[in-house]
Chains A and B, each alone.
Chain A
Amino acid sequence: AQSVAQPEDQVNVAEGNPLTVKCTYSVSGNPYLFWYVQYPNRGLQFLLKYITGDNLVKGSYGFEAEFNKSQTSFHLKKPSALVSDSALYFCAVIGGFKTIFGAGTRLFVKA
């Protein structure tokens, strides 16, 4: 069965430090992977996606994600966190022609 897991409910990081939000997936065939962010009282916003090609994908707001086929992971990263990055982050995978979302990881960036 197709699935995606975000093992951390919450990630805390200090402003200026690097951040990582973890995501692992299980899908048959080639994976199509996405990251979305949800700010308070707003809908989800697309950050980046991996379809094929370079394993390091760059997206909006300085975020990037690394696709690792052997570890079936697609971790979201940012070199220097901002307080404004505090939000709910969702990893998603296309499985069975449907987008399957992870449970979400809440990121807190402390000033």
Chain B
Amino acid sequence: KAGVTQTPRYLIKTRGQQVTLSCSPISGHRSVSWYQQTPGQGLQFLFEYFSETQRNKGNFPGRFSGRQFSNSRSEMNVSTLELGDSALYLCASSLGLAPYEQYFGPGTRLTVT
């Protein structure tokens, strides 16, 4: 089975712009979660989607949003980018909601200048 794929792998944006990241889960997986990883804050939960519905949300501002499509693929969007948004954004898929284990993609490295 193919693993979780994320596109693009690298992005460079300037402050004020917006960005959309894409995630394709493992075939058959219905849950997709997004995380932000930074050296200072570690891994922080953004949101989780299951059957096209957002099930859980972390403590991030409304500039961070996401959605899930009927084929379980997911996108996350960050509007009005700030320097502090520079991070590795990880997508993870699982068969269902917790306590299933998650399978992570390689991440999208976002740099905001």
Number of interface residues of B (CB under 8 A): 22
Among the listed B4, B55, B58, B101, which residue makes an inter-chain contact with A43, where contact means beta carbons less than 8 Å apart? B4
* With A43-B104, A43-B107, A44-B104: A94-B98 Cβ-Cβ less than 8 Å: yes
Q: Which residue of B lies closest to A41 (CB)?
A: B106
The verdict on A49 contacting chain B, using a C-beta distance below 8 Å, is yes
**Total cross-chain contacts (CB, 8 A):** 50
The verdict on B43 contacting chain A, using a C-beta distance below 8 Å, is yes
For B45, what are the chain A residues with a Cβ–Cβ distance below 8 Å?
Answer: 98-101
The verdict on B79 contacting chain A, using a C-beta distance below 8 Å, is no
Contact present for A101 and B56 (CB under 8 Å): no
The verdict on A11 contacting chain B, using a C-beta distance below 8 Å, is no
Contact present for B33 and A99 (CB under 8 Å): yes
Q: Which residue of A lies closest to B100 (CB)?
A: A49
The verdict on B90 contacting chain A, using a C-beta distance below 8 Å, is yes
The verdict on B61 contacting chain A, using a C-beta distance below 8 Å, is no
For B102, what are the chain A residues with a Cβ–Cβ distance below 8 Å?
Answer: 36, 44, 46, 99
The verdict on B48 contacting chain A, using a C-beta distance below 8 Å, is yes
For A98, what are the chain B residues with a Cβ–Cβ distance below 8 Å?
Answer: 45, 48, 56, 58, 98
Contact present for A49 and B56 (CB under 8 Å): no
Chain B 13-31 residues near chain A, CB threshold 8 A = none
Q: Which residue of A lies closest to B44 (CB)?
A: A101
What is the CA–CA distance of A99 and B35 in the complex, to the nearest angstrom? 10
* With A98-B48, A99-B33, A99-B98: A90-B104 Cβ-Cβ less than 8 Å: no
For B4, what are the chain A residues with a Cβ–Cβ distance below 8 Å?
Answer: 43
Chain A 49-75 residues near chain B, CB threshold 8 A = 49, 51
Taking Cβ atoms with an 8 Å cutoff, the residues of A that contact B are 32, 34, 36, 41-46, 49, 51, 90, 94, 96-104
**Between-chain CB contacts (< 8 Å), 11 pairs:** A36-B102, A36-B104, A41-B106, A43-B104, A43-B106, A46-B102, A97-B55, A97-B97, A99-B33, A101-B35, A104-B42
